[in-house]
Amino acid sequence: MGSSGTGTARAVVAPMHPHLSAPIPVQGPALGSHVRVPLGESSHVVFPLVLGGAEFGWNLNIDDSHAIIDEFVAIGGNALHTADSFVGGRSEHIIGQWVHTRGRRDDVVITTRVGAHPDNPGLGPVQLVRAVEASLMRLQTDHIDVLYLDGSVADAPLEETLATTEWLVESGKVRTLGAYRFSPSQLVEARILSSAGYPRISVLDVPYNVVRRTDFTDDLRLVASAQGIAVTPSHALEHGFLAGSTRTRADAAKSVRGSQKLDNLTKRGTRTLRALDAIAEELAVPTAAVAVAWLLAQKVIAAPIVSIDAPSQIHELVQGVGIKLNRGQLADIARASQ
């Protein structure tokens, strides 16, 4: 779920005879278009939020998905994330249709993850090439800006996988290499291999948020920081739980992700939400925005990946980009989430 708010006005055309009390129209590029962060050592710069496509084709049809992408781009967002395993590739297809119908390929950074699709499982040379070719077809593009390798399904030596990505990069099919669920030792090995000429991993996706800390270990954080890797954490809102709309089992029963939200309906989860609520009330922003701001306050975090199911949620989340939590607020969240 997402958020938005101040600083997210879209370009509109001023009426011929505006009422004297009408707001001053904003013309030109979206206000968020000047807010960009680098993706590690790659050439890509993105808005500090990446729009995830996990709901596209599953909880959302193509029209609703396109409406969300339209709204995201309108406020200055420019990075879209998906995976070939999301709804069997349906998410990639929906994003590809948006790129094709809107003609905006050069305006967005497209990232996708491969390795877990049942037709091309694993990261062996043949499967990897086939997976990339299939993703390119579904995305209706000739290149993937960031290709995430799914380390949880690695079934080939890393050197073999990176040798294949070298060909993919040289052929122009892939621009930048990313990793998903790589261990610290895998990242170290990959950096050693990059010194021999293989492509360098510049981006890391790891499930991480204020109530989910175990995946992003101290060792992983240290290696990512030392290597200058940009972290784009997925599950930024813990399946929507950190948006604050699920407080009881009855609330969870109304959500398609209710079973996942139930896991956080604990004393710790409730304490954490209350801490986020208090700061949200203090700052006059949505609870989800505080959850995003907490992530952006963590070192090496470049741009959280957020999946939402309504355009209005984008405006809630975007407010988190403009918030800088102070030490006291961070300490309150830390105590509550212990």
pLDDT at 20: 39
User: Which amino acid is it at 257?
Assistant: R
Residues 164-173: b if buried by 16+ CB within 10 A, e if exposed: bbbebbeeeb
> What does the alpha-carbon distance between residue 312 and residue 64 come to, in Å, rounded to a whole number?
12
Kindly tell me if the per-residue pLDDT of 271 is higher than 60. yes
Residue whose C-alpha is closest to residue 283's, from 324, 240, 242: 324
Residue 262 has pLDDT above 50, yes or no: yes
CA 147 → CA 98, 126, 174, 204, 264, distances in Å? 19, 16, 7, 10, 31
Q: How confident is the model at residue 31 (pLDDT cuts 50, 70, 90)?
A: low
Predicted pLDDT of residue 18: 42
Q: Integer distance in angstroms from the first to the last C-alpha of the chain?
A: 23
Average pLDDT score over residue span 66-72: 97
Residue 99 pLDDT: 97
pLDDT for 234 beyond 80: yes
DSSP state of 12: -
Tally Cβ neighbours within 10 Å of residue 61.
11
Residue 240 is predicted with a pLDDT of 87
Tell me the pLDDT tens digit for each residue of 201-219: 999 999 999 999 999 999 9
Q: Mean of the per-residue pLDDT values for the chain?
A: 89
Specify the amino acid at residue 227. Answer: Q
Q: Which two tokens stand for residue 103?
A: 């003609």
Tell me how far CA of residue 96 lies from CA of 65, 69, 90, 135, 317, in angstroms.
Answer: 11, 12, 10, 9, 24
Structure confidence at residue 32 (pLDDT): 79
Q: Which of 107-121, 125-139, 163-177, 242-256 has the lowest mean pLDDT?
A: 242-256
Tell me which amino acid residue 212 is.
R
Q: Report the pLDDT averaged over residues 285-307.
A: 97
What are the Cα distances from residue 181, in Å, to 75, 122, 187, 336? 30, 14, 10, 27
Cβ–Cβ < 8 Å for 45, 39? yes
Q: Stretch 220-226: mean pLDDT, rounded?
A: 98
Query: Residue 199 has what DSSP assignment?
Result: P
Pairing label, strands 37-38, 79-83: unpaired
Q: Cα(5)–Cα(322) distance, rounded to whole angstroms?
A: 9
Residue 14 CA to residue 28 CA, distance in Å, equals 12
135: pLDDT confidence band, cut at 50, 70 and 90?
A: very high
Nearest Cα neighbor of 58 from 245, 313, 309 is 309
Q: Is the pLDDT of residue 10 over 50?
A: no
Which of these ranges, 22-36, 147-161, 168-182, 227-241, has the smallest mean pLDDT? 22-36
**Could you give the CA distance from residue 312 to residue 214 in angstroms, rounded to a whole number?**
31
pTM of the model as a whole: 0.88
User: Which residue(s) pair with 176 in the sheet?
Assistant: 146
Q: What is the pLDDT of residue 24?
A: 39
pLDDT exceeds 50 at position 35? yes
The CATH number of 31-243+299-312 is: 3.20.20.100
* pLDDT of 22: 37
